[in-house]
Amino acid sequence: MSFVTVVIRGLIRRRTRTTLTLLGISIGIAAVVALVGLSRGLNKSWAAGMKARGTDVVVSNMTSSLVPKPFNATVRDRIAHLPHIAGTCTLLVDLMSVENTEMIMVSGREWGGFAWGNLKLMSGRMPNAAQEKAVVLGRTAADVLKKKVGDPIQIETAELKVVGIVDGNAWVENGSVILSMPLLQEITGDQDRINVIDVRLTPGTSRADVQSLCEQIDQLVPEARAIVASENLNQSEISRIVGAMSWSTSLLAVLVGVLGVMNTMLMNVFERTPEICVLLALGWKRRRIVELVLWESAILGLLGGIIGVFIGVVGVRLLAATPSIRGLLEPDIGIRLLAVSVAIAILVGVVSGLYPAWRSSRVTPSQALHG
Amino acid sequence: MLESPVLNAFEAVGLKKDFDDGAVQALRSLDLQIPEGEFIAITGPSGCGKTTLLQLLGALDRPTAGTLVFRGVSIPDLPDPSAYRSREIGFVFQSFHLLPTFTALENVQIPMLETRMPSAKRRDQARELLKSVGLERRLNHFPSKLSGGERQRVAIARSLANSPSVLLADEPTGNLDSDNAAMILDLLVKIQQEKRMTLVLVTHDDRVAHRATRIIHMIDGHAVSDRQTGNGVYQ
């Protein structure tokens, strides 16, 4: 038997209460894992999509919406001649409700542009012409929409045909409905409007040259911003809003966890006051009693953190598989996020235990001789 | 041949203890000397200050006035009262106060956790102590599975865990039937004599008190009588 035994026995003596408290912390930590994982996944999915398309610099106007604001297609002519630019490809992307799906990425790509190059046909064929009433579906989008090659598909009022299923080598690409940009412009009535210019750079372009190019583009195109592809979504307001909301919601959930643990530990201390008096009478130091309470709450936090991480990972996988999210973003749950979540849980435990521990240190040992 | 002088374990002079800002005077200028190795019974009606005296002797509380010393050291001025309780004092309570989620063997080890004793030695020592109180067959029983007498024997074993020099017992037979009470009393007397311990026992029961070598009777915070019983002091 050791001090740890005393700590563990303290926790298991009220199994139901301990279990409920663990559940409270777990849900808070699961919220941290799920919300932060999803918001980080949003950034990662966009970056992966651009990487898959071979994009080095993105020219777009990511303000406070999930998709960039449209601008005139002639913008491309203003930048195409700049040094270090090997090629450009214009896109019109939008989040749309397609048939029974609440929201799916619809990606109109410049006919013949390099953004088609990363798509590997899994079945069927690519569209034959810019005006052909045809789409290809990313493999996840095909699952979500329950479509196969040859099926009709309705986008807004246009009746199109699924001619191929493709693997885009990125979550966001696989979750997209892909068609020629002129066709999408016609469907949405956005003729001559685009909202993304993918820019490929000449090999060997230095970081300083990339930076300089972005500045030149910003000067030439005031209606959009040029950003290195990997930083694109991180720079957007919506990304920051989503990040802030996910952390603030998580912190609220964590706060509920703190109150839960504090309540449990306070009840523990009140209930065990006679026992604490006896321990003091038997020669235990007050510091040791404080350690006992803090260890109990820290272990509650640790266990709650581990369970919460598990619930969070499973939950976010289930969430990402729901029709409304599936294909739009890939949750980004790295070891670091899990470790931070468990650390937060332990901190929750320790912080929650501080007041009960202080209360326990105020107990008068003479009470041991009463009753 | 000269006898060695008897040293006092405790000395109290003008000891006072008030509660509720003086509204309750539990001890009123008590003078007391308790020699090492003596078995003293403190008797008196409820509220006479018996338990308060025990609390002060065990450094569980501080006196309002007066001096109280243990082997020449002022108890209220002890820098670390918990260390004093851990090393010098063993408590035996009326309600046993065993920890319900620990076995008899574990309960006896609880005071030892404040020492640097290795866990194997702690366990062996606890086993020996339980054997010495006749509970070698009940080592792994939880308190709820023990009789009242057995629980008090575990509590006595626990009070001896760190080999204290003083046992403070508060109505140790108060919650026991007469057979168990007699057995517990015999055990306490045996331990006190074998280990040459100072035993201060608070009781309402005259039969219990008469097993002591000396009886101090208290009323309203005063010691109204202090007499030898003729049982003799172990030296």
User: The dihedral of CA A126, A128, A130, A134: what is its sign?
Assistant: negative
| pLDDT for A173 | 85
| pLDDT for A261 | 80
* Residues linked to residue A193 through DSSP beta bridges, in sequence order: A72
Half-sphere exposure of A282 (CA within 13 A, CB side): 31
| Of B160, B231, B158, B149, the residue nearest B195 (C-alpha) | B160
- Name B109's Cβ contacts closer than 8 Å, sequence gap at least 6: A1, B122, B123, B126, B161
Domain ranges of chain B: 38-60+79-228
Strand, coil or helix: what is B184? helix
User: Which of B55, B82, B109 has the CB atom closest to A284's CB atom?
Assistant: B82
Which of A282, A285, A290 has the highest number of chain B CBs within 10 A, making it the mutation to test binding with B? A282
Whether residue B93 lies within 8 A of chain A, CB to CB, comes out as yes
For residues A58 and A63, give the distance between their C-alpha atoms in angstroms, rounded to a whole number.
14
For residues B59 and B56, give the distance between their C-alpha atoms in angstroms, rounded to a whole number.
5
Whether residue B110 lies within 8 A of chain A, CB to CB, comes out as yes
| Of A230, A215, A260, the residue nearest A82 (C-alpha) | A215
| Of A319, A265, A315, the residue nearest A26 (C-alpha) | A315
| pLDDT for B235 | 37
Q: CA of A12: which chain B residue's CA is closest?
A: B101
Strand, coil or helix: what is A167? strand
Q: Which of residues 142-181 of B touch A (CB under 8 A)?
A: 158, 161-162, 170
User: Which of B102, B114, B158 has the CB atom closest to A288's CB atom?
Assistant: B114
Tokens of A331: 């949750």
Which of B97, B130, B175, B203 has the highest number of chain A CBs within 10 A, making it the mutation to test binding with A? B97
- Name B161's Cβ contacts closer than 8 Å, sequence gap at least 6: A282, B90, B108, B109, B110, B111, B112, B125, B126, B129
Phi then psi for residue A97, to 5 deg, are: -90, 120
From 3.40.50.2020, 1.10.1840.10, 3.40.50.300, 1.10.357.10, which CATH number describes the B38-60+79-228 domain? 3.40.50.300
For residues B178 and B169, give the distance between their C-alpha atoms in angstroms, rounded to a whole number.
17
* Chain A residues close to B93, C-beta within 8 Å: 278, 368-369
* Chain B residues close to A369, C-beta within 8 Å: 51, 54-55, 60, 91, 93, 170
Phi then psi for residue B31, to 5 deg, are: -110, 135
Tokens of A57: 């610099």
For residues A176 and A32, give the distance between their C-alpha atoms in angstroms, rounded to a whole number.
28
pLDDT tens track for A72-126: 989 999 898 899 999 999 999 998 888 888 788 899 999 999 999 889 999 999 9
Which of B18, B94, B101 has the highest number of chain A CBs within 10 A, making it the mutation to test binding with A? B101
pLDDT tens track for A5-15: 999 988 888 88
Whether residue A6 lies within 8 A of chain B, CB to CB, comes out as yes
CB–CB contact A280 B60 (8 Å): yes
Those residues of chain B that have pLDDT short of 50 are: 1, 233-235
What's the DSSP call for residue A331?
-
Q: Which of residues 238-277 of A touch B (CB under 8 A)?
A: 274-275
Chains A and B form CB pairs within 8 A to the count of 85
- Name A3's Cβ contacts closer than 8 Å, sequence gap at least 6: A288, A291, A292, A295, B113
Separation in Å, CA of B160 to nearest CA in chain A:
10
Please give the helix or strand (H or E) that residue B200 lies within, else none: strand B198-202
CB–CB contact A283 B109 (8 Å): no
Half-sphere exposure of A81 (CA within 13 A, CB side): 4
Question: What is the residue-wise DSSP string for A304-318?
Answer: HHHHHHHHHHHHHHH
* Chain A residues close to B58, C-beta within 8 Å: 281
What does the pLDDT average to over A35-42? Answer: 80
Separation in Å, CA of A354 to nearest CA in chain B:
22
Do residues A323 and A294 touch, judged by C-beta distance below 8 A?
no
Is the pLDDT at A167 greater than 70? The verdict is yes
User: Which of B80, B93, B161 has the CB atom closest to A369's CB atom?
Assistant: B93
Highest mean pLDDT among A23-32, A164-173, A311-320, B156-165: B156-165
| pLDDT for A239 | 65
Is the pLDDT at A325 greater than 80? The verdict is no
| pLDDT for B4 | 55
CB–CB contact B60 A275 (8 Å): no
Q: Greater confidence, B117 or A256?
A: B117
- Name B133's Cβ contacts closer than 8 Å, sequence gap at least 6: B153, B154, B156, B157, B187
Which of A1, A268, A291, A367 has the highest number of chain B CBs within 10 A, making it the mutation to test binding with B? A1
- Name A155's Cβ contacts closer than 8 Å, sequence gap at least 6: A96, A98, A106, A135, A177, A179, A184, A187
User: Which of B89, B119, B162 has the CB atom closest to A2's CB atom?
Assistant: B119
| pLDDT for B234 | 42
Is the pLDDT at A45 greater than 80? The verdict is no
Do residues B34 and B153 touch, judged by C-beta distance below 8 A?
no
Whether residue A4 lies within 8 A of chain B, CB to CB, comes out as no
pLDDT tens track for A195-215: 999 999 998 888 899 989 999
Q: CA of B81: which chain A residue's CA is closest?
A: A283
Q: Which of residues 40-59 of B touch A (CB under 8 A)?
A: 51, 54-55, 58
| Distance from chain centroid for Cα A161 | 33
User: The dihedral of CA A162, A164, A167, A173: what is its sign?
Assistant: negative
Separation in Å, CA of B28 to nearest CA in chain A:
19
Q: CA of B58: which chain A residue's CA is closest?
A: A281
CA-to-CA separations, B191 to A107, A287, A345, B129, in angstroms, rounded: 90, 32, 50, 11
- Name B103's Cβ contacts closer than 8 Å, sequence gap at least 6: B139, B140, B141, B142
pLDDT tens track for B17-54: 999 888 889 999 999 999 999 999 999 998 899 999 99
Domain ranges of chain A: 3-44+239-369, 69-223
For residues B2 and A168, give the distance between their C-alpha atoms in angstroms, rounded to a whole number.
105
For residues B74 and B29, give the distance between their C-alpha atoms in angstroms, rounded to a whole number.
17
* Chain B residues close to A10, C-beta within 8 Å: 101
Share of chain A above pLDDT 70, in %: 93
Separation in Å, CA of B4 to nearest CA in chain A:
32
Strand, coil or helix: what is A161? strand
CB–CB contact B106 A1 (8 Å): yes
| Per-residue pLDDT band at A237 (split at 50, 70, 90) | low
Do residues A22 and A303 touch, judged by C-beta distance below 8 A?
yes
CB–CB contact B119 A371 (8 Å): no
Separation in Å, CA of B113 to nearest CA in chain A:
7
| pLDDT for A152 | 95
Is the pLDDT at A328 greater than 80? The verdict is no
What does the pLDDT average to over A305-311? Answer: 94
Do residues A357 and A294 touch, judged by C-beta distance below 8 A?
yes
| Per-residue pLDDT band at A252 (split at 50, 70, 90) | confident
| pLDDT for A14 | 82
